[in-house]
Amino acid sequence: MSGARSVPPPAILLMGPTGTGKTDAAVALAARFPLEIVSVDSALVYRGLDVGSAKPDAATLARVPHHLVDVRDPVEPYSAGDFLRDATRAMDEIRTRGRVPLLVGGTMLYFRALQAGLADLPAADPGIRRELEAEAARSGWPAQHARLAEVDPAAAARIRPNDAQRIQRALEVWRVTGRPLSELQRQDLRHGVIGDYLKLVLAPAERAVLHERLASRFDRMMERGLLDEVRRLRARGDLDPECPALRAVGYRQVWMHLDGAWDLAEARARAIQATRQLAKRQLTWLRAEPGTEWFDPFAAGPSVDERLANRVAEWLRARGWGAESA
C-alpha cells in the first residue's frame, strides 16, 4: 500500500475516549445515511471478547453490519499493519457499493495509520523474540527497557518500563535492522489511505462526568457476565494475561482476580483506574489531532444523534452524496 492512490477517497471518522457512546451513535448514523461501519478498535477484532470490549450485540451486528469485528482468535496477534490492510480492503468494498466508510472507535494508533500511514518496518522474527523473552525472564522487562534506552532513547521515552509487548518490538527492530525504531518511524512512512475526511469526536466537556460513566460501565459489564467470560477464556488453556488480546482494560484485572492476586473489590478498582487512564491518553491524542469537530454526548439540548446527523448530512451534500439512506 505504498502510495497506490494519488487522491485518497473520502471517509468519516467517529473518534472519542472509551465509554462515550460511539457505537450507538455510529449505528444511528449508518441507519440514516449511505454509510457502512468499520470498527477501529483493537479489542473488537477478537472473537470471544464480547462483554469486556463492549462489543455490539448479535442483534445490532445483524441489523447494522460492522467490518473488522470478530476477525481474529484471541491467541493470534493483530498489528496496526494488519488493521491498515484489512481496513483498506473493507473501505474499497464499501465504496464499490456506492457508500461511504464510517470509521468508528478509540484505538488512536489505528486512526493515525489510516491518515498518515505506517513505517515500513520488518516482519516479526520469532527467533529474536524468543531470545528477548528469555532475557526478560532472567532480568525483567524494566532491565530490557533500560537496554532500549541505550539504543533508542526516543522510543524508550514513550514506552512504559513494564510494557513488554512494545519493548520487545522496539528491541526486535533494532536487532533486525541495526536502526532505532523511532528513526524508522520518522523516515519510512507509507501514505495513508484516506484523504477527504470528516473527523468527529465524542467527548464530554467535564472529566468527572466521564469518570462516573466509566465506573458504572464496568459495573454493568460485571452484571452482564464479564467474570464468566474471562473464566471461559482461561479455560481454553492457550491464553495468559500477556497475550495482546487480554491487554484490553478490564480483562487483565479480572484475570488477576481469578488467579487469586486480588479480591473482587481490588480488581474492580484497578480496572476502573486503568480505564480512566486509557481515556486520558485518548483525550490527549485527540486534543492534538488537527481538524476535529467535538460533540459533547451528554450536553443539554438536541440529542447528540441529531447534532451528528446534521453535520454528516451537510458534509455528504457538499460532496454530492444523497443525504439520507433509502
pLDDT in tens, 149-197: 999 898 899 898 888 888 998 998 888 888 888 877 666 455 556 668 8
Which of 15-29, 120-134, 139-153, 308-322 is most confident? 15-29
Report the distance separating Cα 185 and Cα 80, nearest Å: 13
| pLDDT of 320 higher than 70 | yes
126-187 is a CATH 3.10.180.10 domain: no
pLDDT of 24 reads 96
**Share of residues in the chain with pLDDT > 90 (%):** 68
pTM: 0.81
The alpha carbon of 43 is separated from its chain's Cα centroid by a whole number of angstroms, namely 7
**CA nearest to 321, candidates 94, 105, 103, 108:** 94
Q: Which H or E run includes 325?
A: none
Q: How many CB atoms lie within 10 A of CB 250?
A: 29
Q: Give the pLDDT confidence score for residue 326 in this predicted structure.
A: 45
Between the alpha carbon of residue 187 and those of residues 114, 171, 172, 252, the distances in Å are 17, 18, 18, 35
Tens digit of pLDDT for each residue in 263-301?
999 999 999 999 999 999 999 999 999 999 999 999 989
Q: What average pLDDT does the segment 248-270 reach?
A: 96
CA distance 234 to 207: 34
Q: Is 238 exposed, middle or buried (0-12, 13-18, 19+ CB in 10 A)?
A: exposed
CATH number of 11-118+190-318: 3.40.50.300
pLDDT band at 121 (very low <50, low <70, confident <90, very high): confident
Q: Which residues of 172-188 are buried (b: 16+ CB within 10 A; e: fewer)?
A: bbbeeeeebbbbbbeee
Would you give the distance in Å from CA 49 to the centre of its chain?
Answer: 14
Distance CA 200, CA 289 (A): 11
Distances (CA, A) of 264 to 162, 219, 260: 23, 12, 9
Phi, psi of 244 (to 5 degrees): -50, -40
Residue with the three cell numbers 521515552: 157
Domain residue spans of the chain: 11-118+190-318, 126-187
What pLDDT does residue 51 have? 97
pLDDT for residue 4: 42
Extract the runs of DSSP E, i.e. beta strands, from the chain: 11-15, 35-40, 66-67, 100-105, 197-202, 292-295
The pLDDT, as a whole number, for residue 325 is: 57
Residues 295-320: b if buried by 16+ CB within 10 A, e if exposed: bbbeeeeeebbebbbebbbebbeeee
Q: In what order do the strands lie in the sheet with 35-40?
A: 66-67, 35-40, 100-105, 11-15, 197-202, 292-295
pLDDT of residue 117: 77
Q: 35-40 and 66-67 as β-strands: parallel, antiparallel, unpaired?
A: parallel
The band of 122, judged by pLDDT with boundaries at 50, 70 and 90, is: confident
Contact (CB, 8 A) for 234 and 49: no
